[in-house]
Structure 1
Amino acid sequence: MDTNQLWKERFSHHIKMLSRYLRLMFNDHLAFALIFFVAAGAYFYQQWLEGVPETFPVDWIMAVVLGLLLAHSPVRTFFKEADMVFLLSIENRLKPYMRNGIIYSLVIQAYWIAIFLFVFTPLYLKLYPDINAKYLLIMLGILIGIKVVNLLAVWFLDQTRDRRLQFLDLLVRLAINVMLVYFLVNSEFVYVSIAAFLIIGVAFLNYWNIFKQNSLPWDVLIEKEEARLQLFYRMANLSTDVPDLKRKPKKRHAIVRLITKPIKFDQSSTFVYLYFITFIRSGDYFGMYLRLMGLTVFFIYWVPLFWGKLIFAVLFLFVTGFQFITIYNHHKTLDWIQLYPVPETLRRKAVHQLIFLLMFFKVIVLFVFFIFVSDLIGAVIYGGIGLAFTLMFENFYVKSRIRKMS
């Protein structure tokens, strides 16, 4: 077996899967919202930079964020369940395969490091006026080099099943990476060199004590790869139907009792009960709703101008309603849903009610928050615009989308 060719086949399949779902996820509406979000964020970021105090701890913020990106270094293997049988006999010939996996992981993760460094650049140059663009390129090169060492350290440690050892390794590497970035930001190259030697030492210890002593734990590696794939599927499922998604419901008994208590126990409430429980117990929707709520509160607090706060609030209100339309097809693969002696109109009505209540509750929460970050008049303005937007979005856009999905 040519393991290099095997990698090319699996990489090609992976890219086709990514392109298919990303094309569905970033449709016209969501792409427009993201472009507007980036443009507005850049504008308010520039406005905020004009008044940023000189004592702002940009060095520590960059150290923590970039240090986390360096320490989190999973290696993509694209291993599948059948590999425990068919690749076990050629384990000693997988070096080209894993080399390609490390290179692919480096390219993807280095891209995110470059993006975050680019975002921090205006703030960094504002507070460190002596720094030039050439030094930023040197910094990026050093960070990518340290990322290579982190990837090797993680791959060497992946040969063990000891979760406590993996957690300890993560803490040690995180601390070293944070300090390395902090010294790099402050141009203290002696300490940068010391931190670099320490992280290389961690990788060497992992290689000598773990990698050299153990064979591949196929079941663990396959489980990790499947978890990464399912994470992407859960994100894609918020915008489109993903048949390969494995859903694991959460219990959340207290919240379920609170939500279902007002629902009438009759035939007309069948789908209301089903979709409300689906929203709470599914691992996708409830967590996404809370994260969107937190992001909205953060941007409303951070953006200085009232109309900017208003734009972000309405934008995130649209994203909230848009993301949960796909709950209509959540039970699409279950045949017994079709056996309910309940009209299809009640199913669509239940989804309408759920989306309206989610958006309405968000308007209420943000109305209260606007009172604290703005004033009562600003809160009333947002409340009126938010409520009008919710009614129009639910009655026109959601109705049209559900009709196409039916």
Structure 2
Amino acid sequence: MDTNQLWKERFSSHVKMVSRYLRLIFNDHLAFALIFFVAAGAYFYQQWLETVPYTLRVDWIMAGVLGVLLTHSPVRTFFKEADTVFLLSVENRLNPYIRNGMVYSLIMQGYWLAIFLFVFTPLYLKLYGEVDASYLLVILGALIAVKVGNLLAVCFLEKTRDQRIHYLDLAVRFVINVMLVFFLVNGEIMLSIIAGTLIVGVAFLNYWNIYQKYSLPWDVLIEKEDARLQFFYRIANMSTDVPDLRRKPKKRHALVRLVTQPIKFDQSSTYIYLYLITFVRNGDYFGMYLRLMLLTVFFTFWVPIFWGKLIFALLFLFVTGFQFITIYNHHKTIDWVQLYPVESDIRKKAVHQLIFLLMLVKVMVLFIMFIIATDIVGAVIYGGIGLIFTLVFENFYVKSRIERMS
């Protein structure tokens, strides 16, 4: 078996799948919203830099964020369940396959390191005015080199099933990575080299103590790879139907009772009852709603200009309504839902009610946040515009999208 050819086939299949879903994700108004979000974020970031205090410890902020990115170094393998049968006999010839996985992981994770370093660059140069801009290339090169050490450490450690060793390795590498970035930011090159050497030492310890002694835990590696794939599916499912997505509902009895208690026990409430329970018990919907709420609150307090706060609040209100339209097809593949003796118009009405409720709750929460962040006048302006936007969005945009999905 040519494991290099096997990698090329797996990688090509992965790229085609990701490309297909990305086209569906960004082939809608969400792409415009993201572009607007990035442009507005860059503008207000520049405005914030003019008032940032010189006492801000940007070195520790960069160390914390970049340290997390360095420490989180999973190696993609694209292993599948059938590999426990067909690849088990050639495990000793999989080194080229694993090496290709490390190269791919390095490129993808190095890209995010460069992005976050680029975001921090204006703040760093503002507070460290004496630093030459070319030094940032040195930082980036050092981060990529340390990322290689972290990937090796994780790759060698994957052969053990002992979670205590995994947690210990994670804690040790996180501390070393944070200190390394801190030293780099402050120009302490020798201390950075020492920290980098420690990461290499951790990788060698994992190699001698674990990698050479154990065989690959195929079930664990396949489970991790499947978890990463399902994570991408959950993101894609917010914009389009993903048939391969496996959903694991959570009970949340108390919250279910809270949201379903006001609902009347009659036929017309069938779908609103179903969709409310689906929203609460599905981690994708409920978690996404909470994350969008927290992001909106953050930008409400972070953006210095009132109109900037208002724009971001409305943008996230649009994203909130847009993301949950897909709940209409959540039970599409379940036959017993189709057997309900309920008209299809009641189902559409239930989705309208759910989205309107989610947006209305967000407007109410942000109304309180605007009172704290601005004043009562600003809160009233946001509340009025937010309510009008919700009514227009729900009655026109949501209606047209559901009609196309029917």
The question of a shared fold, defined as TM-score above 0.5 by the shorter chain, is answered with yes
**Aligned 8 A contact 2:252 2:281 in 1:** yes
Q: Distance in 2 between matches of 1:35 and 1:132?
A: 30
Tell me the residue number matched to 2:93: 93
Residue 324 of structure 1 aligns to a residue in which SS? Answer: helix
Is 1:102 the counterpart of 2:102 in the alignment? yes
The runs of 5 or more residues in structure 2 that have no matched partner are none
Which whole-Å CA distance do the structure 2 matches of 1:350 and 1:165 have between them?
49
Query: What is the rounded CA distance, in whole Å, between the counterparts of 2:223 and 2:361 in structure 1?
Result: 38
Q: Structure 2 CA distance, aligned partners of 1:164 and 1:262?
A: 46
> One-letter code of the match for 2:48?
W
Aligned equivalents of 1:378 and 1:359: distance in 2?
A: 19
Partner of 2:279: 279
Q: Distance in 1 between matches of 2:218 and 2:21?
A: 28
1:393 lines up with 2:396 in the alignment: no
The code of the aligned residue for 1:358 comes to: L
How far the C-alpha of 1:396 sits from its partner, in A, is 0.2
Classify the secondary structure of the residue corresponding to 2:283: coil
1:342-361 equivalent positions in 2, closer than 5 A: 342-361=342-361
Structure 1: unaligned runs, 5 residues or longer: none
| Number of the residue aligned with 2:229 | 229
What is the correspondence of 1:41-190 to structure 2 with a 5 Å cutoff? 41-190=41-190
Q: TM-score, normalised by structure 2?
A: 0.99
1:313-328 → structure 2 map (5 Å cutoff) = 313-328=313-328
Deviation of residue 364 (structure 1)? Answer: 0.3
2:265 counterpart residue number: 265
CA distance in 1, matches of 2:138, 2:60: 19
TM-score, with normalisation over the residues of structure 1? 0.99
C-alpha distance in 2 between matches for 1:332 and 1:103 = 39
User: SS of the residue aligned with 2:54?
Assistant: coil
- Across the aligned residues of Structure 1 and Structure 2, the Cα RMSD in angstroms comes to 0.5
Partner Cα separation in structure 1 for residue 164 and residue 403 of structure 2: 51
Q: CA deviation at 1:294?
A: 0.1
Name the CA distance, whole Å, in 2 between partners of 1:332 and 1:131: 58
C-alpha distance in structure 2 between counterparts of 1:139 and 1:179, whole Å: 13
Give the C-alpha shift of residue 27 in structure 1.
2.1
State how far apart, in whole Å, the 2-side matches of 1:288 and 1:177 are. 30
Residue 196 of structure 1 corresponds to: 196
Does structure 1 residue 338 correspond to structure 2 residue 347? no
2:275–2:351 Cα contact (<8 Å) kept: yes
Tell me how far apart the structure 1 counterparts of residues 13 and 316 of structure 2 sit (CA, whole Å). 34
Residue in structure 1 matched with residue 297 of structure 2 by the alignment: 297
Aligned partner of 1:2 in structure 2 is 2
Instruction: Name the % identity.
Output: 77
CA–CA separation in structure 1 for the residues paired with 2:8 and 2:161: 28
Deviation at 1:338, TM superposition (A): 1.0
SS in 2 for 1:80: coil
* In 2: Cα distance, 1:27 partner to 1:390 partner: 23
Q: Shift of residue 263 of structure 1?
A: 0.7
Corresponding residue SS for 1:359: helix
Q: Determine the structure 2 residue equivalent to 1:402.
A: 402
Task: Tell me which amino acid in the other structure corresponds to 2:163.
Answer: R
Offset of residue 28 of structure 1: 3.1
Return the letter of the residue paired with 2:356. Answer: F
Q: Does 1:206 align with 2:206?
A: yes
SS at match of 1:122: helix
Question: Which 4+ runs in 1 deviate beyond 4 A?
Answer: none
Q: 2:123 & 2:140 partners in 1: Cα distance?
A: 16
The alignment partner of 1:284 has SS state of helix
Q: CA deviation at 1:132?
A: 1.6
- Give the count of matched residue pairs: 406
Cα distance in 2, alignment partners of residues 139 and 196 from structure 1: 12
Tell me which amino acid in the other structure corresponds to 1:268.
S
Amino acid at match of 1:243: P
**Matches of 2:392 and 2:164, distance apart in 1:** 52
Question: Counterpart in 2 of 1:288?
Answer: 288
- 1:328-364 CA deviation, whole Å, 9 max, x = no partner? 0000110111111000000000000000000000000
What is the letter of the counterpart of residue 185 of structure 1?
Answer: V
C-alpha deviation, 1:133, in angstroms: 2.4
What SS is found at the alignment partner of 1:304?
A: coil
Shift in Å at residue 173 of structure 1? 0.2
Q: Give the deviation of 1:131 after TM superposition.
A: 1.4
Asked whether the equivalents of residues 125 and 133 of structure 2 are also in contact (C-alpha less than 8 Å), the reply is no
Using the alignment, how far apart are the partners of 2:46 and 2:349 within structure 1? 44
Report the Cα offset of residue 283 of structure 1.
1.7
User: How far 1:112 sits from its partner (Å)?
Assistant: 0.1
CA contact (8 A) 2:320 2:359 kept: yes
After superposing the two structures, state which structure 1 stretch, 133-142 or 213-222, moved more.
133-142
Other structure's SS at 1:273 match:
helix
